[in-house]
């Protein structure tokens, strides 16, 4: 499956709607957001995502079917630097368990074994088993 998938750097102008929509909707349903009023969550977390994407060391990679760079299947948003951080990895449900998240991680060049992550997601659950050095720290936002 991954031989049919390509990756590219996030184009904020073209990809921002997909990133905000999927990140906010998928994370709002997580156990880590329970008890936060939806209006508060969407407003405040939108600001957090915007801040992350504007950082000088931000890393953004999207996956798409070969030859169709505007059809997004998933993405990774992180930060490079002395302490690498993976903020969010998202893959559309029907494309999960096909190696796309792994492809995004490899393309990001972030060293997973010594990185932190700030959002607990389905993909991170799978990564923890393979990369025990990956540490959860929601305060690295």
CATH value at residue 71? 3.40.630.30
What gap in Å lies between CA 89 and CA 122, rounded to an integer?
9
Domain span at 136: 2-140
Tell me if residue 45 falls in helix, strand or coil.
helix
What gap in Å lies between CA 67 and CA 83, rounded to an integer?
34
What gap in Å lies between CA 136 and CA 120, rounded to an integer?
8
pLDDT at position 129: 67
What gap in Å lies between CA 60 and CA 76, rounded to an integer?
6
Q: How confident is the model at residue 62 (pLDDT cuts 50, 70, 90)?
A: very high
What gap in Å lies between CA 94 and CA 51, rounded to an integer?
29
pTM over 0.85: yes
Q: How many domains does the chain fold into?
A: 1
pLDDT at position 1: 64
């Amino acid at each position: 499956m991954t031989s049919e998938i390509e990756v590219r750097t996030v184009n904020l102008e073209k990809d921002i709607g997909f990133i905000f929509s999927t990140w906010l909707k998928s994370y709002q349903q997580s156990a880590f957001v329970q008890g936060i009023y939806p209006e508060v969550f969407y407003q405040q977390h939108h600001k957090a995502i915007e801040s992350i994407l504007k950082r000088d060391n931000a890393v953004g990679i999207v996956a798409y079917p070969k030859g169709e760079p505007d059809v997004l299947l998933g993405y990774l948003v992180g930060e490079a630097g002395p302490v690498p951080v993976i903020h969010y990895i998202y893959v559309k449900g029907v494309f999960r368990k096909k190696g796309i998240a792994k492809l995004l991680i490899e393309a990001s060049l972030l060293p997973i074994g010594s990185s932190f992550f700030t959002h607990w997601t389905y993909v991170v659950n799978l990564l923890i088993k393979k990369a025990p050095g990956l540490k959860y720290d929601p305060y690295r936002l």
